[in-house]
């Protein structure tokens, strides 16, 4: 089995009732620069080392992004930075994404775990997931990862947390949930290797645009209003239904 990316510790800012392991930024810096980084280099493996997964401050209380506690505490050391090829952010780590990308643009960034909700699989939370996708992808990540592909409807984790999923099952039947629809729309039209577009206009804050390698432009748009909304891009126009997430695929000619 080939392992392409390694992160030293999952959620190393989390003290929870499932197996956890808390690290300070200083401890992680020492571990990477003096132990893990050199060991990977000496092994001859092509496995890339990513800093993470960084979940920020919320699970430990406190305030702010803790960007300097969990990100720059490691990356500001040139020896540690030498071994690190990317950073994996999730949950409250989203507040640290932009300053990290601005400060260390040479690194790769991924969103390593979608926020999991509370098991209701509601339309409102699916719209929030769209906002998260837009935040991370326009903010500089090269991957956005969902957490639960399928769960029993109303099922709980071993630590008592009912979570959302792309599909739910009950009595042998499977049901597609709203968040699956959001991901399905995005992945159907936004292809691997597509480039993020910097959109402008009144609806750009509710839109995610990507240009595919074949020149087609894929737009994922949320109309949060109770009335239809007219949008345009490159000469093409469309009317978005009320309270809806839609996808548009435009040819290089704008049709």
Percent of the chain with pLDDT over 70: 96
Quick: pLDDT tens for 117-143.
Answer: 999 999 999 999 999 999 999 999 999
The mean-pLDDT minimum among 14-18, 91-95, 195-199, 238-242 falls in 14-18
143 with 110: CB under 8 angstroms? yes
- Residue located via tokens 């092994």: 43
CATH code for the domain defined by 5-193? 3.20.20.80
**Report field, pTM of the whole predicted structure over 0.85:** yes
Q: Which two tokens stand for residue 205?
A: 């804050």
pLDDT score of 60 more than 80: no
50 with 5: CB under 8 angstroms? yes
The mean-pLDDT minimum among 56-65, 172-181, 183-192 falls in 56-65
Handedness of CA 159, 160, 161, 167 (dihedral sign): positive
Nearest residue to 148 (alpha-carbon basis) of 125, 134, 167, 130: 167
Quick: pLDDT tens for 3-54.
Answer: 999 999 999 888 777 788 999 999 999 999 999 999 999 999 999 999 999 9
Look at residue 63 in the predicted model and tell me its pLDDT. 64
Rounded to the nearest integer, the mean pLDDT of the chain is 93
pLDDT score of 59 more than 60: no
The DSSP-derived string for 31-91 is HIIIIIHHHHHHHT--PEEEEEEE--SGGG---S--HHHHTHHHHTSHHHHHHEEEEEEEG
Cβ atoms < 10 Å from Cβ of 174: 10
């Amino acid at each position: 089995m080939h392992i392409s990316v390694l992160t030293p510790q999952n959620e190393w800012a989390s003290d929870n009732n499932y197996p956890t392991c808390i690290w300070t930024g200083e401890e992680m810096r020492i571990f990477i620069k003096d132990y893990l980084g050199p060991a990977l280099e000496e092994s001859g493996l092509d496995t890339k080392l990513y800093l993470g997964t960084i979940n920020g401050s919320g699970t430990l209380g406190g305030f702010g992004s803790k960007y300097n506690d969990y990100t720059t505490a490691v990356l500001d050391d040139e020896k540690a930075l030498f071994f690190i090829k990317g950073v994996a952010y999730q949950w409250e780590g989203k507040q640290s994404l932009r300053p990290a990308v601005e400060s260390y643009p040479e690194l790769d960034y991924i969103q390593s775990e979608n926020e999991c909700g509370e098991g209701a699989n509601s339309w409102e939370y699916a719209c929030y997931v769209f906002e998260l996708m837009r935040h991370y992808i326009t903010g500089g990540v090269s991957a956005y990862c969902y957490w639960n592909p399928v769960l029993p409807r109303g099922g709980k984790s071993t630590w008592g947390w009912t979570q959302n999923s792309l599909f739910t099952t009950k009595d042998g039947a499977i049901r597609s949930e709203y968040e699956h629809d959001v991901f399905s729309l995005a992945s159907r039209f936004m292809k691997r290797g597509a480039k993020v577009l910097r959109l402008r206009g009144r609806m750009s804050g509710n839109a995610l645009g990507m240009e595919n390698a074949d020149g087609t432009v894929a737009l994922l748009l949320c109309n949060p209003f109770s009335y239809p909304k007219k949008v345009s891009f490159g000469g093409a126009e469309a009317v978005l239904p009320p309270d809806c997430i839609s996808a548009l695929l435009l040819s290089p000619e704008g049709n």
